[in-house]
Chains A and B, each alone.
Chain A
Amino acid sequence: MVRIHSGPPLPRPALPRQIPKTKYQIPKKRAMTANKIYKTCVEAVADIPDGATIMVGGFGSYGGLPINLIVALAGQAVKNLTVIANMGGVGFELTKRIKPEGYQDLGILFERGQVKKLIASVPALGGMPPTSPFEKLFNEGKVEVEIVPQGTLAERIRCGAGGIGGFYTPVGLGTVVERGKEKKVINGKEYILELPLNADFALVKAHKADILGNLVYRRTARCFNPVMAMAAKITIAEVDELVPIGGLDPEVIVTPHVYVKRIVEVPR
């Protein structure tokens, strides 16, 4: 008679344990790590194709923007990009109000007409008159926009990064943001379904990288960079300083190296 066991797995008879000769297996040759180091920003962005979706880290017009990668991309012939960023940039002319000599920001991609669509929480600032390169193009009907509340933008990117199919948020209820979206009542509260965002490339700015690609950030230059670094097929990091393996305290690494495919050192 066959006895059918439906409970927890039966205990197995104890086997004599084999004692290994050494505690850890040490390979004879050190495994080669992929070389992620690029000499220039231009080389690092050279294969971004027409029509690619790119995430660009940072927050506003400076402080965390991977500006050298952005300028390198603006020098390429690539066009029809979909750009996911917190802000559309104000453009060189307007930055002169902050620094007399002016500086570049994401606005340069719109000045060069390389963007087909922008997904952002602040595509343009509300000041008058409307002068940002993005808003000029938008008013001419030459670029599309999707406006996303900032926290929803960060969370959609995190969803994309983590393989999550979407999330329910109360942010945007009753506003233009809820248009066309599924709504659901959970525990008596109303929510909107928001869907994940991913990209082909992410351009991020970090303070230091080791040559494996582990990243640490500096002060508020962290912002959107870590979450975007995790959500793209190819993440390209512009860093102030490159250090050897072991040169970063493992307790403070923010972005683990598996997320980073390319690194360019641009000293501050």
Chain B
Amino acid sequence: MKARLDEQTIALRAAREFTDGAVVNLGYGLPCLCADFVPGGKTVFFQSENGILGYGGLATDAEKDYEMINAADQPVTPAPGMCFFDSALSFDMIRGGHIDIVVLGAYQVSDKGDLANWGRPGRPATGMGGGMDLAAGAGRVIVTMLHTTREGGPRIVKDLTFPLTARRCVSLIVTDLAVIEVTVAGLVLKEVAPGWTFREIQDLTEARLKLAADLKEIEL
């Protein structure tokens, strides 16, 4: 079996999408790792929906302060110019279109860019947190996820079978096998993990993929 990218590398690839000066929100789990991979020479302002804009990175044990956390309850470090605000203002910022990029995890993404990332069948008591607000309000939604389920089934599908977070919101999907852009014409395979082919990726993807004219390997 060919190697798949690890979570750190998925985060590194997703973080290359960050533009200089962008306001970026990182979702729970894998997306939080992107904080460590801001491309050199670029400044990014991390926003977290619990009410902070412009934090540094993840805090070490010596630095940690439980009143200085991101939305995943991870202690983060202060940075010059950061600010704090309450939850209502935080979501005004999110719904109002002031977040340029949000990176979210997902259970499933459809070929139309529909996102399912908060609930799984049989677990009616879990919640979406800020996921629906972020998916509906952010300028660009990047999904980081594993390409297939633990059992090997597809996560990039024709129609969602998991509960919807928001319709037609995803712009880019970064997985352990591929980088896929969501366009009005459907899903376009832009990059593959080293050694993988278009056909192999398509076989692990329920939705139909289009081949980008300039398909290339993900640069590590």
B84 with A175: CB separation less than 8 A: no
A268 to B73: give the CA distance in the assembly, Å. Answer: 20
B166 with A174: CB separation less than 8 A: yes
Interface stretch of the complex, out of A1-9, A76-84, A222-230, A241-249: A222-230
A171 with B87: CB separation less than 8 A: no
Number of A residues with CB within 8 Å of any CB on chain B: 54
Q: Is A62 an interface residue (CB 8 A)?
A: yes
Could you give 9 example pairs across A and B, Cβ below 8 Å?
Answer: A126-B123, A149-B130, A172-B132, A217-B84, A219-B52, A219-B65, A220-B48, A220-B50, A223-B51
Residues of B with C-beta under 8 A to A126:
118-120, 123, 126
Residues of A with C-beta under 8 A to B131:
149
- In the assembled complex, the CB of B2 is this many whole angstroms from the nearest CB of chain A, namely 28
B87 with A147: CB separation less than 8 A: no
Interface stretch of the complex, out of A38-46, A134-142, A258-266: A134-142
A63 with B166: CB separation less than 8 A: no
In the complex, per-residue mask of B110-137: 1 if CB is within 8 Å of any chain A CB, else 0: 0000000011100111111111110011
A224 with B132: CB separation less than 8 A: no
Residues of B with C-beta under 8 A to A151:
49, 87, 90-91, 94-95, 130, 132-133, 137
Q: Is A66 an interface residue (CB 8 A)?
A: no
In the complex, per-residue mask of A38-82: 1 if CB is within 8 Å of any chain B CB, else 0: 000000000000000000000111111000000000000000000
A175 with B126: CB separation less than 8 A: no
Interface stretch of the complex, out of A26-34, A115-123, A180-188: A115-123
B127 with A120: CB separation less than 8 A: yes
Question: Contacts A62-B73, A226-B86 hold; do A177 and B132 have CB atoms under 8 A apart?
Answer: yes
A155 to B118: give the CA distance in the assembly, Å. Answer: 20
- In the assembled complex, the CB of A194 is this many whole angstroms from the nearest CB of chain B, namely 12
Residues of B with C-beta under 8 A to A219:
52, 65, 67-68, 84
B84 with A149: CB separation less than 8 A: no
Q: Is A218 an interface residue (CB 8 A)?
A: yes
Report B165-181 residues with CB < 8 Å from chain A CB: 165-167
A64 to B128: give the CA distance in the assembly, Å. Answer: 20
Residues of B with C-beta under 8 A to A122:
126-129
In the complex, per-residue mask of B141-179: 1 if CB is within 8 Å of any chain A CB, else 0: 000000000000000000000011111000000000000
Listed from nearest, the 3 A-B pairs whose CB atoms lie closest are A151-B91, A151-B133, A150-B130
Q: Is B88 an interface residue (CB 8 A)?
A: yes
The chain A residue sitting closest to B73, CB to CB, is: A60
A184 to B127: give the CA distance in the assembly, Å. Answer: 25
The chain B residue sitting closest to A145, CB to CB, is: B125
Q: Is A164 an interface residue (CB 8 A)?
A: no
A138 to B119: give the CA distance in the assembly, Å. Answer: 15
Q: Is A170 an interface residue (CB 8 A)?
A: yes
